[in-house]
Amino acid sequence: MRNAFWLYLFLFVAFFDLHAQYPILTPFAISIGAAPSFIGLMMGMYSITHLPGNIIAGISVDRIGSKLFIIGSLLGAGIILLVQSYVTDPWQLLVLRSISGFVLAFLSPACMALLARMSSDLKEQGKLMAGNGLVHTIAAVASPAAGAYLVAKIGFTTAFSLLGWILVATSLLAVFFIKDIKVPANAPASHANATAATALSPPASVPWLIYLLPVALSCAQGILSFEIPLLAKTTEAMMTTGLLFSVISIGALVTLSMMFLNNLSAFNRTLWGSFALALVYFAIASDFPLPLMVLLFIIGMAKGVTLPALSTLLIDLSGGARYGRTFSILSIATSIGAFIGPVAAGQLRSVVSPYYLAFLLLMIAITILPIIHWRHAAAKTQLT
């Protein structure tokens, strides 16, 4: 498990660095003249440029391995942040964020595929995915507040430069400490003959409709990531919004620490975690009489249950075949949702609460999920 330790350590640094930007990107964009609708477009472009990277990852991670893509993503993201520290125009920021979206598209499928290959036991794989979620969440607890604090003390330019150098250093260390795990020679299908067409198709046992849920989840998260920073009108308020992001992560950390939840089926955790998430978005949209901080804490708890469970569910449905492809399509679905969320929020927020859209999409995906589960269970019964 030494390889898992190093991977978790580098992921912690990378996620800390990336999440530190959440509360400061919107104020930075506003400071150089961007309007809220433009900021929504910028966040959407960051997500949509994930797609070509996800497609390439689907072709290549199973064939080449994960290490090269992990290193390249971290190094590229660091260099872009260094350049971003000199931006003075919203369109320059839009271009850089779009490139950053492409570069970082490789990181998640490469890391998750590497983790999945560390064991062939489904329960152990579930624990590794939960560990990934735990590391991600621990990094996200303090990083938004840290990012806001950095900007308050040293300004946008120096903060972006510092975060960029951290990513560059992390990528160089990963060269020496991450050990790749190649695809087994007896893999269920020939990875060496993968093509662009097959990379866009999940393993035969994974139904397409399952990916509607990550679309809805990331759309809801994109709406949240767009709306919360708009609460910041001053430097002091930016600190507050950074703390709000940290509250979400603390909520996720609570449920991720409940290791006994891993003994429950991945389907039940995914279903009920998503349902709880939908209810909280409805509560925010309807001005439910609870403090926003409490509702965000519950959102974090629901995410801490849902996201690792969804990864484990996909491993189960894939039957152990083509992890790179499976998680690449998961990243594509996430990118699509993350594009829809902020763009829709930027365009519709004067007409209707974007949180209603998040609630609606989540409920549609939740309604479909049991049908997928029953069909998969019936198919396994027929095979046995």
The model's pLDDT over 239-297, given as tens digits with 9 standing for 90+, comes to 677 788 888 888 988 888 887 887 888 889 999 999 999 999 999 999 888 998 999 99
Structure tokens at 83: 């350049």
pLDDT of residue 72: 92
Q: Which amino acid is at 85?
A: S
Compute the average pLDDT of residues 89-100.
Answer: 91
Is the model's pTM score more than 0.85? no
End-to-end CA distance of the chain: 34
pLDDT of residue 335: 81
Closest alpha carbon to 74 in 3, 162, 165: 165
pLDDT of residue 9: 83
pLDDT of residue 189: 42
Distance separating alpha carbons of residues 340 and 331, to the nearest angstrom: 14
Question: Which alpha helices (DSSP H) does 228-322 contain, by range?
Answer: 235-256, 266-285, 292-318
Quickly state the pLDDT bin for 382 (edges 50, 70, 90): low
Residue 208 clears pLDDT 70, i.e. is over it: yes
Quickly state the pLDDT bin for 236 (edges 50, 70, 90): low
pLDDT of residue 195: 44
Residue 192 clears pLDDT 60, i.e. is over it: no
In terms of residues, how long is the chain? Answer: 384
Residue 224 clears pLDDT 60, i.e. is over it: yes
Residue 10 clears pLDDT 50, i.e. is over it: yes
- C-beta atoms surrounding 277 within 10 Å: 26
Quickly state the pLDDT bin for 193 (edges 50, 70, 90): very low
pLDDT of residue 169: 92
* Residues contacting 328, CB < 8 A, separation 6+: 54, 55, 57, 58, 61, 109, 199
Helix (DSSP H) and strand (DSSP E) numbers for the chain: 15, 0
User: Mean pLDDT across the chain, nearest whole number?
Assistant: 82
pLDDT per position as a tens digit, 124-179: 777 787 788 778 778 877 787 788 888 888 888 899 999 999 999 989 988 988 88
Q: Between residues 318 and 88, which one has the greater pLDDT?
A: 88
Quickly state the pLDDT bin for 234 (edges 50, 70, 90): low
**Given the structure tokens 């999940």, which residue do they identify?**
202
Quote the distance between the C-alpha of residue 95 and its chain's center: 21
**What is the percentage of the chain residues whose pLDDT exceeds 70?**
88
pLDDT of residue 271: 93
Cβ atoms of residues 226 and 345 within 8 Å? yes
Cβ atoms of residues 314 and 208 within 8 Å? no
pLDDT of residue 200: 53
pLDDT of residue 191: 42
DSSP string, 217-251: HHHHHHHHHHHTGGG--SHHHHHHHHHHHHHHHHH
Distance separating alpha carbons of residues 206 and 155, to the nearest angstrom: 47
pLDDT of residue 201: 58
Max mean pLDDT among 64-78, 125-139, 307-321, 368-382 falls in: 64-78
Distance separating alpha carbons of residues 144 and 147, to the nearest angstrom: 5
Q: Between residues 100 and 382, which one has the greater pLDDT?
A: 100
* Residues contacting 378, CB < 8 A, separation 6+: none
Q: Between residues 158 and 381, which one has the greater pLDDT?
A: 158
Q: Where are the beta strands (DSSP E) in the chain?
A: none
**What is the percentage of the chain residues whose pLDDT exceeds 90?**
23
Quickly state the pLDDT bin for 95 (edges 50, 70, 90): very high
Q: Between residues 378 and 235, which one has the greater pLDDT?
A: 378
Compute the average pLDDT of residues 104-108.
Answer: 83
Quickly state the pLDDT bin for 184 (edges 50, 70, 90): low
Distance separating alpha carbons of residues 241 and 247, to the nearest angstrom: 10
